[in-house]
Chain A
Amino acid sequence: MSLQIDRSAHMEFSSAGDDHFEQMLKPCGDRVPNALNDPWVNDLSEEDLADLYTDMVVIRRLDTEATALQRQGELALWPPLLGQEASQVGAARAMQKDDFVFPSYRESGVMVLRGVNPTDLMRVWRGSSATSWNPYDMNVASPQIIIGAQTHHAVGYAMGLAMDGVDAAAVSFFGDGATSQGDVNEAMVFAATYHAPAVFFCQNNHWAISEPVGLQSQTHIAERARGFGIPAVRVDGNDVLAVLAVTRRALDQARNGGGPFFIEAVTYRMGPHTTADDPTRYRDQAELEHWKERDPLDRLSKYLEKSGADMEAIQRRAQEAADKIAAVVRKELKETVEPTPRNLFENVYVNEHPRINEQRDHYGAYLEQFGETLDGTQAGA
């Protein structure tokens, strides 16, 4: 016997092929009839589909803009979502206002579509602030860095929704790597136990930094949720229509007292883990090529084209929207008013804290020795 280490990132393509996840649009743009999911997206007009396409174009553009801004020194770091646009757009657009999102760091698409100003989000990665938005304004918690921790918060929030008699749900987002964390597994126990209106949205993008999904799970991730008594669906995460349908279904069940739901969106992280990562050290170019053929934007565009839409016009409008928002973000980011030393000491506690006040006042006195102040101005100026 010897120790086995599975470095495969291709579990889903081993024997069963693409089709054992829920799919409504094939990579070639053909529509796959799906009795279970069709009713959840039947209401979509061609215009709605074009809007979903625009969402994906805008999200991709913001993502590439952020990567460029990082290269130019405007951001300290950025976690790209390239390739995961359909998962994020489909999920975000399925939610209603009252639903509450507990995202990880990679859900910039979800956050922006929920109403977070992309510049505010980028300021987090610039190092100018920790959240820079009020989570209650758009029901989006601050992005979670501790892998998996937010799943508990979503379940607790969902329990609160149920206790308050509010018909809404809480959605946590996390990656395939996160499913190895105790917290994610505990959160499923709590959600199932209390029948909480919590939706677990796992973006299985096949990689946790350099570790392929085979190192995290030897079964489909959705399968694990079923073991907790939580209904689960594997969905083609590069198919925006299928993700939208499945998430609507999950949210509807949760909102109507059906308890938690788990979604494994099978997608792919086409970029690096973050701008500090070098994926050529651990994965093959061939794998990337395989996934490029499954690009989430291409497939919706092909579908629209096949159904007779004026794709050129749609593309042009989407591009204009993307260019516009990218320009605004670039401008706003450069106008960021950086925090002052005084901000450093704020909001550690709600109530006054004598030791922090002492340390702040002392630091103020220290700065004054150099003609500076806690407010970032020159003393006496």
Chain B
Amino acid sequence: MTALQKTEKLGKTTFGGALNAGLRAALANDPKVLLMGEDIGKLGGVFRITDGLQAEFGEHRVLDSPLAESGIIGTAVGLAYRGYRPVPEIQFDGFVYPAFDQIVSQVAKIHYRTGGAVTIPMTIRIPFGGGIGSPEHHSESPEAYFVHTPGLRVVSPSSPAEAYWMIQDAIACEDPVIFFEPKRHYHDKQDLTGIEEGKDRLPLGAARVAREGEHVTLVSYGSLVKTCLNVATAAEDEGISIEVIDLRSLSPIDFGTIEASVRKTGRLVIAHEAALTGGLGAEIATGVTERCFHYLEHAPVRVTGWDLPYPPSKLEKHHVPDLDRILDGVDRALDRPNSYSRFEGK
């Protein structure tokens, strides 16, 4: 990294624009940073996240790659061996599987396998999650597969401000990072004036208390953080004070921040779009239970996508947790009447 970091002044910026600015800064500050992927160059990516970067930095810094995900990641491994800092893009969540072997068997393990001699400072960007009315394979939440893989770090920004710094911190990280971008928020705007001063910048592995509260701890990440903040606002009307935690880092999980909150509130709700079984909610619920069982007033509650292949888009509103379903989970954590009451005899 050069001593003098180049940054551009940002005003009202979209989530996608913040990522674009973060990528631009990373490319400008380190000549070893390379972007690669399908359609990312001339087109600027199907979501335009890399818009203009090839024109600015050249075809050798922003590579349009052949249409082969295993090849993109595998080639990036070789580039990392050679001292580059590749930032491959996987076009959509559901297309990461052809690269799964390279990610799990190579990217995640080479540092361990070589006794620390070879580092793989790769950031794999993946737009993820539903809510944009896409066809099959374009709305998935595959994060748990990667969270379960030692050797990888997994993160997800929840806002333009988070996106701007998190992408730069991920690229600067010496470990491989899977970077999940909540695609349905790409067009959300936020005023980023003064962001380059880095006042709210957190370390890559830290969770953020997105809103303070007293009665319930509500943990989420990526696309649902915004919904959870709305849940907290809605609950306020009923006198319920919710503390919202934006996980930010899915691996490792910052249990310190969650635990401190649960010790205060005694109640935990976790929300994610991904399926319930084996999901991050299970990990967080267990981790918190192990750490502060005696502070819990109620069993942890998970509000998640059902255990289904992602459904046709006309049905996605029934699948992705929304404000009301998360509120229902909050009710459950507070022992108030909720959708589970009749199953639990309450």
**Which residues of A are at the interface with B, using a C-beta cutoff of 8 A?**
100, 102, 129-136, 141-142, 146, 149, 151-161, 163-164, 170, 182-183, 186-187, 189-190, 193, 346-351, 353-356
Contacts and interface: CB of A to CB of B under 8 A. Distances in A.
Nearest to A134: B117
A133 B118 CA distance: 11
B78 A156 contact: yes
Chain A CB count within 10 A is highest, among B75, B113, B115, B253, for B75
B153 A170 contact: no
10 contacts: A129-B115, A131-B117, A134-B115, A156-B77, A159-B75, A160-B82, A163-B84, A183-B101, A347-B115, A348-B111
Given A346-B116, A349-B175, A186 B79 contact: no
A130 B101 contact: no
B228 interface: no
Nearest to B66: A189
Interface string B75-104: 111111111101000000000001001100
A201 to B, nearest CB: 16
Contact of B114 (A130, A351, A353): A130
B112 A130 contact: yes
Decide if the interface of chain A is mainly helix, strand, loop or mixed. helix
A91 B240 CA distance: 72
A163 B60 contact: yes
Contacts of B111: 347-350
Nearest to B82: A160
Contacts of A141: 81, 118
B117 A155 contact: no
B81 A153 contact: yes
Contact of A347 (B71, B81, B112): B112
Contact of B71 (A129, A161, A187, A349): A187
A132 B76 CA distance: 23
Interface string B145-189: 000001101000000000000000000011100000000000000
A153 B72 CA distance: 10
B70 interface: yes
Given A135-B81, A156-B77, 16 more contacts: A130-B114, A131-B115, A142-B118, A146-B105, A146-B106, A153-B78, A154-B78, A158-B78, A183-B70, A183-B71, A183-B74, A190-B75, A346-B115, A348-B151, A350-B119, A354-B255
A353 B86 CA distance: 22
A149 B106 CA distance: 8
Contacts of B117: 131, 133-136
B252 interface: yes
Nearest to B73: A152
Chain A CB count within 10 A is highest, among B71, B73, B111, for B71
A155 B75 contact: yes
B83 A160 contact: yes
Contacts, number: 140
Contact of A142 (B114, B173, B255): B114
**Interface band, chain B:** 35 or more
B65 interface: yes
B41 interface: no
Given A130-B113, A183-B70, A190-B71, A351 B77 contact: no
A150 B102 CA distance: 10
B205 interface: yes
Contact of B79 (A133, A146, A159, A346): A159
B70 A193 contact: no
A189 B174 contact: no
Chain B CB count within 10 A is highest, among A151, A158, A164, A183, for A183
B113 A190 contact: no
B105 A350 contact: no
Given A348-B112, A348-B150, A353-B252, A189 B71 contact: yes
Nearest to A146: B105
Chain B CB count within 10 A is highest, among A158, A187, A349, for A349
Chain B CB count within 10 A is highest, among A102, A130, A133, A164, for A130
A154 to B, nearest CB: 6
B55 interface: no
A189 B112 contact: no
B292 interface: no
Contacts of A151: 74
A129 B332 CA distance: 50
B97 to A, nearest CB: 12
Contacts of B175: 349-351
Nearest to A130: B113
Nearest to A357: B252
Contacts of A163: 60, 84
Chain B CB count within 10 A is highest, among A132, A158, A160, for A160
A40 to B, nearest CB: 27
A116 B150 CA distance: 28
Nearest to B80: A156
A354 B205 contact: yes
B84 to A, nearest CB: 6
Given A149-B101, A190-B65, A190-B66, A160 B112 contact: no
Contacts of B60: 163
Contact of B153 (A130, A164, A182, A349): A349
Nearest to A161: B82
Given A161-B82, A187-B74, A152 B102 contact: yes
Contacts of B46: none
Nearest to B77: A153
B202 interface: no
Contact of A149 (B66, B105, B151): B105
A198 to B, nearest CB: 9
B106 A153 contact: yes
Given A189-B68, A348-B151, A353-B252, A153 B114 contact: no
Q: Which 3 A-B pairs have the closest CB atoms?
A: A156-B78, A152-B74, A160-B82
Contact of A152 (B71, B173, B254): B71
A146 B60 CA distance: 29
A218 B77 CA distance: 31
